[in-house]
Amino acid sequence: MLPKKHRLPLRTELKRVKKEGRLIQGKLFSLQVSKSSKNQPTRFGFIISSKIHKKAVKRNRLKRLLSETIMTLKIKPSFDIVFLARKKIIDVDYQEIKAEIKKLFLKVGVIE
């Protein structure tokens, strides 16, 4: 689980990032990336709808996989990032998710 300082706290914050942020498309998920205030750690939010999988256990497992992958990367501060999952993410393993996150983060310039 992500530490509290790395989580987007409120639904209003998620809406702000979706409204102001830049959309980056991937095959497993999309990212909404927005700059936040200076000297603030990068914060993450996850949107995995019940259309992806009906069982909350599976959706929560995906959130844990995504957050675990994020914590292994060196990420620059001052970003707000929202993950929007796609249906394909259910059938892939951890290594594919990690490779996709790295590819999209490099594209955006979030990792060092």
Average pLDDT score over residue span 84-106: 93
pLDDT of residue 9: 81
Tell the burial category of 24 from Cβ atoms under 10 Å away from its Cβ (0-12, 13-18, 19+): middle
Structural domains present in the chain: 4-108 (3.30.230.10)
pLDDT of residue 86: 94
Segment 33-68, tens digit of pLDDT:
999 877 889 999 999 999 999 999 999 999 999 999
Could you tell me the two tokens for 90?
A: 């259910």
Written as one letter, the residue type at 20 is E
For residue 56, the number of C-alpha atoms closer than 13 Å in the C-beta half-sphere is: 0
Higher pLDDT, 57 or 112: 57
* Beta bridge partner(s), residue 44: 7, 81
Reduced to 3 DSSP states, what percent helix, strand and coil does the chain have, rounded to the nearest 5?
45, 25, 35
pLDDT of residue 5: 87
pLDDT of residue 98: 94
> Rounded mean pLDDT of the chain?
90
